[in-house]
Structure 1
């Protein structure tokens, strides 16, 4: 598989305009043999055995995994990394952040491509093409030393509180690294870029390894990337070996995901309309029967709710405020309904909102579950301390695949309970949100979601 060092280097280079070195396996290494330390080959061989050994690695022909990404220096920012790789030399990887940024890279065995929020879709050439080729080398762990023009054992020290052997190397392009291998286990504990301080060199920590089920290969699953500007964390999950991955996954897209039209979305969704208690939306192709006797509210109410939500989540935090402002520009309030007209005295009011956020910039959001997991992280980090229970649950409604999730938060000394139903349609995350003053009340209102029906194709009627 492509080493985690490859993947981390490529994607965080996109974020911070740095291109750290990679193991590209093209030239033999030269190794000094200081005594009494083990040699370079002995250290690397022990590391390979510690991760499962050559025979175990060769059992894999493909690997997919995901990771949650966060930054300790900017807790409002979270994201997701998705990687698909396939022997002998194919890879696709995509990082999406909740601040509206995404960066994807791919190599199909012949052509390298990139797609990100800043530059859109581009062909990779020169050093960037060489880099993605190295990342795509599925069995790179089996011949790591070949990327170095010089490699020697520097000595031993402590790294991340572990006694380690230190390998010091010069890569083909002249950049320098120190790699750290645990003396006891042989596993790589991390590595460090050796460069001038004003270039903000990064140190990579591999805090935990786990074995891939059924393969007996260990990979890092908790990682940190730290320099003077950031302290990123990655938690790896959904590691799946040897699944059938179509070559189209690695092919260059026809259009950039940065452009709404590139995601197959010709324009913004229509607001829909309510007739005889039934809301219908032609753009998304569904209708929903509003609970009997409830009151539909208009655009002014929706604007107030949006602004109030931003205040609750962001408070005085200007960074969070900018994130919320960016998200609100991509979000369309389609329907707002309350059990009683808003402002009715002495009534515990339940509400329903239908909204859609344009997520074309974030190709990692493929399902309602993906969106809910990102939303959970964002809301949980906010000042209102939103708490969710359990994991999102899949539910198919008239052929539409939703995921639903229950949570609650405190505001002005009161607890607000909410149930979210989310699906991914036409480059949007479509949400139906039920809110109320108790879990029982909101779950009762959420039963009305069963009234959702698909509209006939090209229908202009309810």
Structure 2
């Protein structure tokens, strides 16, 4: 597995955590929030009441740029399981409100481990069984246990950003001689899931990526 694809694997987890929901549940859909607006490196979503300031000197990727990353991750995460592969694609299309990711270096930069920060939201209105961020994280853990990847998962303490509590987990995957760490922070706004995902490799990149998460503001 090439290190440059590590981000795509974890990105897909958030698009299939709810993929086992029944058709009856999927019919209960409320009005979806708007995808928001991006001006420079400032993302704003009035419907969700959030804004996020990405670093000006990092490389920001929007929904269109992330589509290929999602496809690569779907193939790797699902292995030979075609049902899981289809679930990833269908759930991503039906629930994603928006997704943005910022990388320290341009994608594909040689000889560079590339820390990143991602902000995304999902419309959770069709999944009444998920009542809070703890339920959502439990679904992600269950998915990880079924995936083709060998991933270590740890619970981490909740963190408060902009006076809102985010629940989290930490994942670790070894790619060759490199340990890749990701921390996921999740909160619910009405029936919508808002997630921040940081990818790092050591103490320095941990401090760098965690500091960027403070760029979120929630009304």
RMSD (CA atoms):
2.5
Native 8 Å contact 2:123 2:193 kept in 1: yes
Check 1:440–1:382 CA distance in 2 against 1; reply closer, same or farther (3 A cut): farther
Which of 364, 377, 381 lines up with 2:129 in the alignment?
Answer: 364
Tell which structure's C-alpha radius of gyration is larger: 1
Cα distance in 2 for partners of 1:332, 1:316 equals 28
Equivalences for residues 346-365 of structure 1 within 5 A: 346-365=111-130
- Deviation per CA, 1:65-89: give whole Å up to 9, x if none: xxxxxxxxxxxxxxxxxxxxxxxxx
Equivalences for residues 43-442 of structure 1 within 5 A: 98-102=18-22, 117-118=23-24, 258-261=27-30, 266-275=31-40, 277-329=41-93, 330-389=95-154, 391-411=155-175, 414-438=178-202, 441-442=205-206
Cα distance in 2 for partners of 1:99, 1:402 equals 23
Q: Give how far 1:386 is off.
A: 1.9
Cα distance in 2 for partners of 1:312, 1:376 equals 17
Structure with more contact order per residue of length (Cα contacts < 8 Å, sep ≥ 6) = 2
User: Partner of 1:385: helix, strand, or coil?
Assistant: coil
- Deviation per CA, 1:330-372: give whole Å up to 9, x if none: 2244212111121222222111111222222222322222211
- Deviation per CA, 1:40-74: give whole Å up to 9, x if none: xxxxxxxxxxxxxxxxxxxxxxxxxxxxxxxxxxx
State how many pairs are aligned: 202
Q: Report which of the two has the higher share of strand.
A: 1
Instruction: Give the TM-score taking structure 1 as reference length.
Output: 0.40
Runs of 4+ in 1 over 6 A off after TM superposition: none
* Structure 2: gaps spanning 5 or more residues: 1-16
Instruction: Give the TM-score taking structure 2 as reference length.
Output: 0.79
